């Protein structure tokens, strides 16, 4: 992995380290925000509203952030996004009132909506034909930040939540300063149409929309890392610590396996075939849960027991398969995105890609959540896991069909005005 990191260009290395810092700072704070608000006396519904507003401000503004990156350049959008995180986490240090907490949460989401598409668009341009390899290293550093952030946050939380937020604020200050002095500017590609015209190109690009629908299966399944997998782990074990075990297993597989998995797939398969196979594996990760769930009753809350360890084994095994599928799907989907879209509008296409995926996730999460509630135990508990397997298979089928019919090949003519059927 260190060799792969050393092979990156200097700007790519900067952005990879930047991703580690972004995830470190983010996961320092957000996992503990609900607990902090609860300690301030806020009701669960109010806490849920604040978290929902944060999520909405990020997902709803991705398109704006991507379009801004295409028009004024990625570097200033990245810097402004990180600077907004300084303000957001600074507000968490001083704000106890609901308006202050809402403002901090919304600014946190808006910041992510700015720098996330800009960072990826910059890397897409910088990586050239090594996009999958660059994004695999990018993912490893992101996983490492996501693993260390909660651990450091939990240690600092023993002192005070405000210290946690202050340290996150300091992390983003360092990142912002580093980008100002180290990250080179890349000129924005020339645009020969207005903002609405650019959006019109995306909407009129049939193969991109089909690709986005197939790729949305990745996001629908990825979000189960925060819903189905932890819920089932705690249900069958009766131990809250089983939730942490799911995240630790997934993160370690990502850190240790991502670069090797990408290299193995690159040497043997096309990008489309790898993405399709990854979606199959992500869906297949829920098979062990679906097979075991009808036979494993809900465990009473308590400490770890031998029975609890045995019961949670299918969940952890499924998590390993699921994470290998993620490691296959994500870097190759980002490598394919400008191919089915446009090099000149990479940020805009990324924003639309995320917007389509967010809509699919809203539907899939609601449906899967309802199925979990309807079948809390017993014979029907396999049904939500079967639905998730089907999502993976459908997404994989779409991408495989596009690969087989040549719809994932570069266009013969690439201009900002071209569209495809």
What pLDDT does 419 receive? 29
- The b/e string for 234-256 (b: 16+ C-beta within 10 A; e otherwise) is bbbbbbeebbebbbebbbebbbe
Other C-beta atoms closer than 10 Å to the C-beta of 166 total 19
The Cα 58–Cα 355 span in angstroms is 10
Is the pLDDT at 418 greater than 80? The verdict is: no
pLDDT in tens, 181-226: 989 887 777 766 777 788 888 889 999 999 999 999 999 999 888 7
What pLDDT does 413 receive? 43
What single-letter DSSP state applies at residue 382?
Answer: G
What pLDDT does 420 receive? 30
Kindly state the average pLDDT of the residues 258-267: 94
Terminal-residue alpha carbon distance, the chain: 39
Kindly state the average pLDDT of the residues 105-113: 92
The set of residues, in sequence order, having a beta carbon less than 8 Å from that of 389 and lying 6+ positions away, is 283, 284, 286, 287, 290
How much is the mean pLDDT over the chain? 89
The Cα 161–Cα 28 span in angstroms is 10
Q: 105 versus 358: which is more confidently predicted?
A: 105
Is the pLDDT at 178 greater than 50? The verdict is: yes
What pLDDT does 33 receive? 87
CA angle 317/5/141 to nearest 5° reads 45
pLDDT in tens, 51-101: 878 877 887 788 889 989 888 889 999 999 999 999 999 999 999 999 999
Q: What's the pLDDT band for 397 if we cut at 50, 70, 90?
A: very high
Q: What's the pLDDT band for 409 if we cut at 50, 70, 90?
A: confident
Strand segments (E) across 247-322? none
The Cα 66–Cα 88 span in angstroms is 21
What pLDDT does 57 receive? 84
The pTM assigned to this predicted structure is: 0.82
| pLDDT > 90 in the chain, percent | 54
Nearest CA among 420, 223, 397, 245 for reference residue 341: 420
pLDDT in tens, 268-295: 999 999 999 999 999 999 999 999 999 9
Q: 309 versus 154: which is more confidently predicted?
A: 309
Residue 74, token pair as written in the block: 């990625």
In the block, which residue shows the tokens 């910088």? 126
- Radius of gyration of the chain measured on its C-alpha atoms: 21
Q: 177 versus 43: which is more confidently predicted?
A: 177
Q: 28 versus 240: which is more confidently predicted?
A: 28
| pLDDT > 70 in the chain, percent | 96
What pLDDT does 281 receive? 98
CB 328 within 8 A of CB 281: yes
Is the pLDDT at 411 greater than 70? The verdict is: no
Q: What's the pLDDT band for 30 if we cut at 50, 70, 90?
A: confident
Is the pLDDT at 151 greater than 90? The verdict is: no
Where does residue 41 fall: left (phi above 0), alpha (psi -120 to 50 degrees), or beta otherwise?
A: left
Q: 366 versus 296: which is more confidently predicted?
A: 296
Kindly state the average pLDDT of the residues 122-137: 87
What pLDDT does 168 receive? 95
Kindly state the average pLDDT of the residues 230-249: 86
Is the pLDDT at 239 greater than 80? The verdict is: yes
What pLDDT does 8 receive? 86
Nearest CA among 122, 110, 116, 112 for reference residue 75: 122
What pLDDT does 358 receive? 81
What pLDDT does 104 receive? 95
Q: In degrees rounded to 5, what are phi and psi of residue 343?
A: -65, -35
The Cα 168–Cα 87 span in angstroms is 11
Is the pLDDT at 392 greater than 50? The verdict is: yes
What pLDDT does 71 receive? 86
Kindly state the average pLDDT of the residues 382-407: 97
């Amino acid at each position: 992995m260190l060799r792969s990191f050393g092979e990156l260009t200097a700007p790519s290395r900067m952005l990879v380290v930047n991703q580690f810092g972004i995830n470190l700072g983010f996961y320092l704070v957000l996992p503990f925000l609900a607990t902090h608000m609860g300690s301030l006396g806020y009701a669960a519904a109010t806490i849920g509203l604040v978290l929902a507003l944060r999520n909405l401000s990020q997902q709803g503004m991705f398109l704006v952030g991507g379009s801004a990156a295409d028009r004024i350049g990625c570097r200033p959008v990245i810097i402004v996004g990180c600077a907004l995180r300084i303000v957001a986490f600074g507000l968490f240090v001083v704000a106890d009132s609901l308006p202050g907490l809402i403002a901090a949460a919304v600014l946190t989401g808006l910041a992510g909506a700015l720098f996330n598409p800009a960072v990826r668009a910059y890397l897409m341009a910088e990586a050239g034909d090594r996009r999958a390899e660059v994004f695999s290293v990018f993912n490893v550093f992101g996983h490492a930040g996501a693993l260390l952030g909660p651990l450091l946050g939990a240690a600092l939380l023993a002192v005070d939540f405000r210290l946690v937020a202050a340290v996150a604020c300091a992390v983003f200050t360092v990142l912002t300063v580093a980008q100002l002095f180290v990250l080179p500017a890349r000129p924005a590609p020339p645009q020969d149409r207005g903002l609405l015209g650019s959006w019109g190109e995306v909407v009129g690009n049939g193969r991109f929309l089909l690709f986005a629908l197939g790729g949305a299966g990745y996001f629908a399944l990825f979000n189960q890392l925060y819903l189905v997998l932890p819920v089932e782990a705690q249900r069958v074990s009766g131990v809250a610590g089983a939730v942490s075990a799911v995240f630790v297993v997934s993160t370690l597989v990502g850190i240790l396996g991502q670069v090797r998995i990408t290299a193995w797939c690159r040497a043997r398969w096309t990008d489309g075939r790898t993405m399709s196979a990854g979606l199959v594996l992500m869906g297949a990760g829920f098979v062990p849960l679906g097979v075991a769930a009808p036979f494993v009753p809900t465990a009473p809350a308590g400490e770890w027991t031998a029975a609890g360890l045995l019961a949670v084994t299918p969940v952890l095994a499924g998590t390993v398969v699921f994470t290998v599928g993620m490691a296959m799907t994500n870097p190759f989907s980002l490598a394919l995105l400008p191919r089915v879209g446009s090099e000149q509008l990479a940020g805009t296409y990324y924003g639309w890609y995320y917007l389509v995926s967010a809509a699919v996730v809203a539907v899939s999460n609601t449906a899967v959540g309802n199925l979990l509630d309807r079948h809390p135990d017993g014979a029907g508990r396999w049904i939500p896991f079967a639905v998730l397997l089907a999502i993976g298979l459908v997404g994989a089928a779409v991408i495989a069909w596009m690969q087989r019919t040549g719809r994932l090949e570069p266009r013969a003519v690439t201009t900002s005005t071209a569209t495809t059927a």
